[in-house]
Amino acid sequence: MDTPSPESYLGALAIVAALCVSATIVGLLVGHAAERLAFRGRRKVFDLKLKRGQVAKEALGTALFHLVFVPVAALAIHLGWIRFSDGWLANVLGFAGPWFGFQLFYYPFHRALHHRRLFWAHRWHHHSLVTTPMTGFSMHPAEAVGWCVGLLSPLIALSAFDLLGGVGFGVFFGVFWIGNIAGHANAEIVPVPSSWASTFISNPISYHSLHHARFDGHYGFVAATFDRLFGTEWSDWLAVHRRVFGGEPLTSLRQRLDADVQAPSDGAE
């Protein structure tokens, strides 16, 4: 087996950097445009000002994430740990593998980061109490290392069996990357309201917005399945969501719409 050359690593680095940075720019453009349209449609989640210096801190955190993720992903490609295949099954798995694999990883990882001994690595992301599209990848480098594990492990596992389809992964990458950025807008950018049942597939933006405001619930990524299963779901989220769609944003971070609501049980604490 030939030793990979430095030039091939630089090539992989350039390609991964170009893909990630361009997808981030597209995500920010889409996220901010969708947020503006949603504001006009009176679907703002929180009617509150951002922290002073928040956008600058988010920009720095996003840059730090890329400085961690891009070299690690490029190295995995350079070493042949990630390689793409053809075929319908490989393309189906190229999307489904990382999509569901990251969700399985993210709930326990995210919940662990809220433990008092690990929260130092997650505090950066939670500097944003009212979120913006820039919040999506704004994080401490230590948390970015965890994202590398969660995102790259399914790709490496599928590659070992030549089942990582390039087209399927490309679709996953676009939906995941741009969706994570746009999904941190401070507005419901999808004009159709969600239901309790639909959150087994996809959460509305206000669902995750409550996590940033309240901290100790809604740890899942994309779907509410694990929060529902482990009792970390806020019982008033649907009322909040409906209120936002009714044109009434929340006016305080800890505002609840059910007097009997209790904080979800959090065994991580």
Apex 26 CA angle, 59 and 18, nearest 5:
80
What is the DSSP track for 26-56? HHHHHHHHHHHHHHHTT-BSB--PPPTTHHH
From CA 228, how far away is CA 144, in angstroms rounded?
26
Give pLDDT tens digits for 16-38. Answer: 999 999 999 999 999 999 999 99
Instruction: Count CB-CB contacts under 10 A for residue 185.
Output: 27
Residue 153 lies in a domain: yes
Q: What is the pLDDT of residue 78?
A: 96
Residue 243 contacts residue 250 (beta carbons within 8 Å): yes
Full residue range of the structural domain in which residue 13 is found: 6-245
Residue 255 lies in a domain: no
From CA 101, how far away is CA 98, in angstroms rounded?
5
Residue (of 172, 171, 183) closest to 134 by Cα position: 183
Residue 168 lies in a domain: yes
Q: What is the pLDDT of residue 237?
A: 96
Residue 264 lies in a domain: no
From CA 21, how far away is CA 173, in angstroms rounded?
12
Residue 187 lies in a domain: yes
Q: What is the pLDDT of residue 261?
A: 43
Residue 252's identity, in one-letter code, is: S
End-to-end CA separation in angstroms for the chain: 48
Q: What is the pLDDT of residue 155?
A: 98
Residue 135 contacts residue 28 (beta carbons within 8 Å): no
Residue 94 lies in a domain: yes
Residue (of 68, 17, 19, 63) closest to 172 by Cα position: 19
Give pLDDT tens digits for 238-252. Answer: 999 999 999 999 999
DSSP 199: G
Residue 42 lies in a domain: yes
Q: What is the pLDDT of residue 267?
A: 40
Number of domains forming the structure of the chain: 1
Give residue for tokens 């999506």.
Answer: 136
With a cut of 50, which residues of the chain have pLDDT below it?
Answer: 1-3, 259-269
Residue 46 contacts residue 212 (beta carbons within 8 Å): no
Q: What is the pLDDT of residue 178?
A: 97
Residue 69 lies in a domain: yes
From CA 34, how far away is CA 12, in angstroms rounded?
32
Q: Where are the alpha helices (DSSP H) in the chain?
A: 6-40, 54-78, 88-113, 141-160, 166-182, 205-214, 225-230, 237-245
